[in-house]
Structure 1
Amino acid sequence: MSKLERFIIYPLLFVSLFCSLTGVNILKASQEVLDRVVTRELVVIDDQGNAIATLRKETNPEGGIQENGSILKLYSDNGKDTASFGAFSGGGGMTLLSEYTPDRIDLSTSEIGLISLKSGFDETELQLTEDSIHMKNAEGHSAVTINSIRGFGRIDVYNEKNTRVVSLDSFRGGGSLDVYNEQGAFVVSLDSFGGDGSLSVNDRGGKLMANLNAYDGGSLSLYNPKGGERASLYVNTNDHAGLWLYDKYGEESRAYTFY
């Protein structure tokens, strides 16, 4: 073989070998069943070449499932990411997005098992866990929480400053409704315990000022800011009534009563 022939034939052999390793196998891949595919990213396209699904590892994925994990994303006809499925350390998750609104649904199987529904219009969010429901405002602060604590229920309501202002509880033998001021001080309590009801009113600092209860016939007591009882009105179990008045020191009193 002459030197000129080698310059012609050898390059053709290299081109043929390259085609056998690349182009031919790519064409056959659509016709054969492969036992294993190794790739950093898998992209599925439609007849027009548009991506309809991708599978890859991501950090800070837009789907919102988890910051690190393997993510499968599905795309709409308009190319918008509308569904994401992820696997990450501690569990897995799914995110569903609306194509036309900012609304979204997040589900994750982490340690707390979170389900999150978010409205894109007012940016409010609803989160569900195994034993609680959290409704959050646009700032991400709690607006309402519903909890199951040791088999009993509780509802907490918060103001725009993320301060709890109302609590509704159930417990063994009764329930209670508590109201708080903006400083978080307990100011009103309505209780039912042992079949009898009671109402307590506190000042803005949380000190008891008045108490009304139905125990043993019923009573109404008034207190000064130092916690001293200054007036009491009682009805005993014999239906007799009594009135007690105390001086500001609590040392002297006057009573008007029947026995």
Structure 2
Amino acid sequence: MPTHHLRAAAESFGNDAARYDRTRPPYPVALLDRILAASPGRRVLTAGCGTGIESRQFRDLGCTVLGVEPDPRMAAFARATGIPVELAKLEDWEPAGRTFDLVTAGTAWHWIDPVAGARQAARVLVPGGRLAPLWHVFTPPDELTDTFGATFRRLVPDSPFDPGKRPAGSALDGYRPILTAAADGIRAAGGFAEPEEWHEAWEKAYTRDEYLDQMPTSGALTRLPAEQIAELQATVGAVIDRMGGGFTMRYVTVAVTAVRE
């Protein structure tokens, strides 16, 4: 099932908006700078803006930012940080004649219908404007992935998610269905040049406590009972302890981007 049909999961991140904002990593500035340099101006629409992580980054880079977010809890958090947010799904949002130079979405575009979302982006972008949804592709240590996955499958055997599944190739290969759906949606929507992928590789060091704090913000865990989350954290924490109490996560942040013709 396409992820944008999993509405209960998509709208579950506001269960703990403060934790989400505290623990989810920001986006590499080098990639944001590249996107802005290839956009005609700095009027930015952030779709599925959540707590405003990428919105604040673009604001701090000198942009005028408007967020669109369907979860009132996430929207309230973003507003409290100074980001103006309108409460709606992007597909249903009414722009009221407003236009933008850039439409982006930080780790949220897969919760949006890829064709309807791209059509809405085409509707509000100026000619030469850019659509650039972003994702963090991450590679944990194999032992951590395997242990987490085995415990998750035992606790939640009917889940549509499998956080322990390792792709046959790279972590980027595992994200290929999401990235392909985004690119195909842009093509199907019309009005855009051929989409491209832009990558930025980086690393982040996690302590045991930092990673365990982030775990409940995963879409696979946000709706689990507290006791199941605690068991997953204990299992993963034991693995991190064996690794010396911390590890380095390798990330590649990907933009699927296209110019409005």
Shorter-chain TM range is under 0.3
TM-score by length of 1: 0.17
Q: Which has the larger radius of gyration?
A: 1
Which structure is higher in helix share? 2
Q: TM-score, normalised by structure 2?
A: 0.17
Point out which structure has higher relative CO (alpha carbons under 8 A, 6+ apart).
2
Q: Hey, which of these two has a bigger chunk of strand by percent? A: 1
